[in-house]
Amino acid sequence: MGNRTPLFDKHEVLGAKIVDFGGWDMPINYGSQIEEHHAVRADAGVFDVSHMTTVELHGSEVPAFLDRLLANDFSRMTRPGQAMYSAMLREDGGVLDDLIVYDTGEPYLMVMNCATREKDLSWMNQVATDFDCTIRERDDLAILAVQGPNALEKVAATISDVQAKAMSELKLFQGTWTENWFIARTGYTGEKGVEVILPEAEAPAFWDRLLDADVKPIGLGARDTLRLEAGMNLYGSDMDETVTPFESNMANTVFLEGRDFIGADALRKRQSDRQLVGLVIPGKGVLRAHYTVYSNGKEVGEITSGAFSPTLQQGIALARVSETSSSMTVEIRGKHNEVTCVEPPFVRHGKQVYKEKPN
Amino acid sequence: MAEFPKELKYLATHEWAKLEDGVVVVGISDHAQDALGDVVFVELPEVDATCSAGDEVAVVESVKAASDIYAPVSGTVTEVNSNLEDSPELVNESPYVDGWFFKITPDDPSALDDLLSAADYQAVCEEDH
């Protein structure tokens, strides 16, 4: 038996198919992954993401610590509670993890992946020894993500008036503590929505109120196709310690100028022609991770994440390649299939948005 | 709980087969469709193609994985379920009726006797767990 979130019993009652995910027993779907996907694009869905690692950063030198730890520049945050998405790098520029840190003031709040938890905490503790900064894990919190065009209205009806008012004042990518809950306008779907971090004991009742408000429960299967359509990377699939953020379509989260974060020197020196691009297959067929990608008949890389896009009704993928062209193919079961190279995202707010990548 | 109709024969690779007016109808089991999750695409064989028992003759792509479909008997493909091209979800909704894949005219109808019974196939599925 793996770790269980405070909502495990709720998932079982709903008939969820439970799988192991990074040591956690998590719902992969509650019946139909595709129906769950469409529910988020068309209305609202709730994801139990309590398996993710939440930490607080205490001390007088947290901003200096983050400036050293992260490739993104925390000093650029201007609004209270603003969320910053960043890679955390090794000295050689390889990506240790991607995470979100909120500019809440002390203690600062950070959320990162569950599969990398031990590695992350040990790395951060090591870096923190040079600063007045203490890392405290908050494993007493649950996280529910509520996403979809109607998510904000439906959440507002299930929380207190004070919390609803606090939520209504948030801008995109901003979070705030309100009555012991942290509510942030962040997500992993490309839709409107919030991520709510709350005490474990209060999570089951909040979950029930959301379902009563006709918010659909969504498993990790749909979470993966939703994030892929939104062009968002999955750590461990689309990037890992062997690649840099520049090779992972994350250049817009790296601020090198005048900075001395871990990995900055390596990024300045490291030359690479590898890039993470989007692929779509015009015909029938599903693109999947590790399929080989060709450009002008030459092998140029492989798919890192692929799926059938329920919104676009076609195969889409992220692929790391050393070359792009107008003549690209993917090998599926021994046959070359033409694909189009595009710039992610594929879908935003339920609509196709990708454009063919200029060559 | 998955259904295992007694009147069908099965392969350990999760296909079912049924002799109907001298033709073998082939699909995938309820257990298989549940394990695969939503089916998004089915690649069917060509009509008139000949196959031997155990040949990979079709592919089913679900949200989770691509899986080969094996011919349960040797023979000639005489019909494919073209409804699956536009409605692959029939495999999930009706694995034993509307979600059939293809029909084979068998070289030897008695070859069906060599396949698994419902009880034997159910035992195979339970071992998988």
Q: Is position B36 within any domain?
A: yes
Domain that includes residue A171, residue range: 8-51+139-229
| E strand spans, A113-192 | 134-137, 141-147, 175-178, 181-184
Is pLDDT of A257 > 90?
A: yes
Q: Is position A238 within any domain?
A: no
Identify the band that residue B102 occupies on the pLDDT scale cut at 50, 70 and 90: very high
List chain B residues with CB under 8 Å of A288.
65-66
Same domain, A221 and A334: no
User: Where is the domain boundary, A229, A264, A284?
Assistant: A229
Q: Is position A338 within any domain?
A: yes
pLDDT, one tens digit per residue, over A204-236 is: 999 999 999 999 999 999 999 999 999 999 999
DSSP A16: P
pLDDT, one tens digit per residue, over B33-60 is: 999 999 999 999 999 999 999 999 999 9
- Look at B63 and A284 and tell me if their CB atoms are within 8 Å: no
Domain count, chain A: 2
List chain A residues with CB under 8 Å of B65.
288
Domain that includes residue B99, residue range: 9-109
Joined together, the tokens standing for residue A242 give 């062997």
pLDDT, one tens digit per residue, over A53-108 is: 999 999 999 999 999 999 999 999 999 999 999 999 999 999 999 999 999 999 99
Q: Is position B70 within any domain?
A: yes
User: Where is the domain boundary, A167, A195, A229?
Assistant: A229
Q: Is position B53 within any domain?
A: yes
**In this predicted complex, what is the ipTM?**
0.86
Q: Is position B126 within any domain?
A: no
Identify the band that residue A270 occupies on the pLDDT scale cut at 50, 70 and 90: confident
Same domain, A148 and A289: no
* Residue A193 to residue B110: CA distance in whole angstroms: 59
Q: Dihedral angle at the C-alpha atoms of A157, A163, A168, A173, nearest 10 degrees?
A: -120
- Look at A286 and B59 and tell me if their CB atoms are within 8 Å: no
Q: Is position B75 within any domain?
A: yes
CB pairs A-B closer than 8 Å: 33
| A180 Ramachandran zone, left/alpha/beta (phi>0; psi -120 to 50) | left
Domain count, chain B: 1
pLDDT, residue B128, reads 74
* Residue A158 to residue A187: CA distance in whole angstroms: 19
List chain B residues with CB under 8 Å of A19.
none
Distance from CA of A308 to the nearest CA of B (A): 7
Q: Residues A314-340: what's their mean pLDDT?
A: 96
Q: Residues B83-106: what's their mean pLDDT?
A: 97
pLDDT, residue A76, reads 96
Q: Is position B3 within any domain?
A: no
Same domain, A346 and A198: no
pLDDT, one tens digit per residue, over A237-256 is: 999 999 999 999 999 999 99
- Look at B63 and A34 and tell me if their CB atoms are within 8 Å: yes
- Look at B41 and A32 and tell me if their CB atoms are within 8 Å: no
Q: Is position A44 within any domain?
A: yes
- Look at B63 and A221 and tell me if their CB atoms are within 8 Å: yes
Is pLDDT of A1 > 90?
A: no
pLDDT, one tens digit per residue, over A8-23 is: 999 999 999 999 999 9
- With a pLDDT cut of 90, the percent of chain B lying above it is 96
